[in-house]
Amino acid sequence: MDLLQDILENGHEKKEFNSGMTLKSVFGRQCRYDLSRGFPLLTTKKVFLRGIIEELLWFLKGDSNIKYLVDRNVNIWDEWAYKIYKERNVKLKKLLTYEEFIEKIKNGSANSPFVRKWGELGPVYGRQWRKWKTSDGRVVDQIAWAINKLKKTPTRKHVVISAWNPEYIYEMAKSREAAMVLPPCHTFFQINVNDKKELSLQLFQRSSDVFLGVPFNIASYALLTMMFAHVLGFKLGEFVHTFGDVHIYGNHMDQVKEQLTRKPRPLPRIKLNPKVKNIDDFKIEDFELIGYNPYPPIKGEVTVVGGF
């Protein structure tokens, strides 16, 4: 809420380079969440936690096809896949509508040519986290490496996981088709364990849609912090959220002002299944949200700008 107010009061006006969308922006901010005091899921508007959890599990699978999400009625990434489909089929006389496109993804098998081609987003977050390809042909699993490193030497300072791979950023990629659907917004994160055996995680986010995207990012990375602490046997520390450019899009201004009239309520808690010992074994049923009492949702359109 303070960050929203800060942007309204101190933000500089910008325009997205390829859409003309106006926004208000500040640069270089940080929020900290002590996870021992509750789970930082916004209470000033209801947040779709099931979608957040499913997206995080999708990342951790190393998946980059929206089929997994669409099958679970999670539509966070649908617009990006449809955008690729439209851009690459401009010469077709009749394109599928967005609704027809998603229905075809949902009804098709994971191995069907249409799903494999048009559901695929390219080397996005999960692929970089779990299947980073090296110049000598190896594949690096950054998540597995981090867990192994934290088990052996938890106080080391180099446990960093990156989604920013210049080879796939479209201005540096060999082709637009080989590039990521968009340069990663949540760029990299670092894990720290202190002498009290508290595990904390800091995310650097280069670009942040503070009304729609950031509430998801807060919950997702707070949950990821909890999952790391859980499987490694550490206490909960902080989720530290560091921002580069943090902004409010012009078509979200009224929604932000409505949200700022609401008084935050007590934070909920999340309980993880104690039987899960491996980060790859988590399923949606292993997360229990307790004591969540939010205000109603506030709707806003996703701004699919597709660039830097």
Q: What is the pLDDT along the chain (308 residues), one digit of tens a residue?
A: 999 999 999 999 998 766 678 999 999 999 999 999 999 999 999 999 999 999 999 999 999 999 999 999 999 999 999 999 998 887 777 899 999 999 999 999 999 999 999 999 989 999 999 999 998 999 999 999 999 999 999 999 999 999 999 988 878 888 877 788 788 999 999 999 999 999 999 999 999 999 999 999 999 999 999 999 999 999 999 999 999 999 999 999 999 999 999 999 999 999 999 999 999 999 999 999 999 999 999 998 876 554 43
Name the catalytic one among 185, 253, 267, 289: 185
pLDDT of residue 170: 77
* CATH 3.40.640.10 correct for 2-61+141-290: no
DSSP the chain: -HHHHHHHHHPEEEE-TTT--EEEEEEEEEEEEEGGG-----SSS---HHHHHHHHHHHHTT--BTHHHHTTT--TTHHHHHHHHHHTTTT-SSPPPHHHHHHHHHHS-TTSHHHHHHSB--S-HHHHHH-EEPTTS-EE-HHHHHHHHHHH-TT-S--EEE---GGGSTTTSS-TTTS-SS--SEEEEEEEE-TT-EEEEEEEEEEEETTTHHHHHHHHHHHHHHHHHHHHTPEEEEEEEEEEEEEEEGGGHHHHHHHTTSPP----EEEE-TT--SGGG--GGGEEEES--PPPP-----------
Domains of the chain: which residue ranges?
Answer: 2-61+141-290, 65-121
Q: Is 185 a catalytic residue?
A: yes
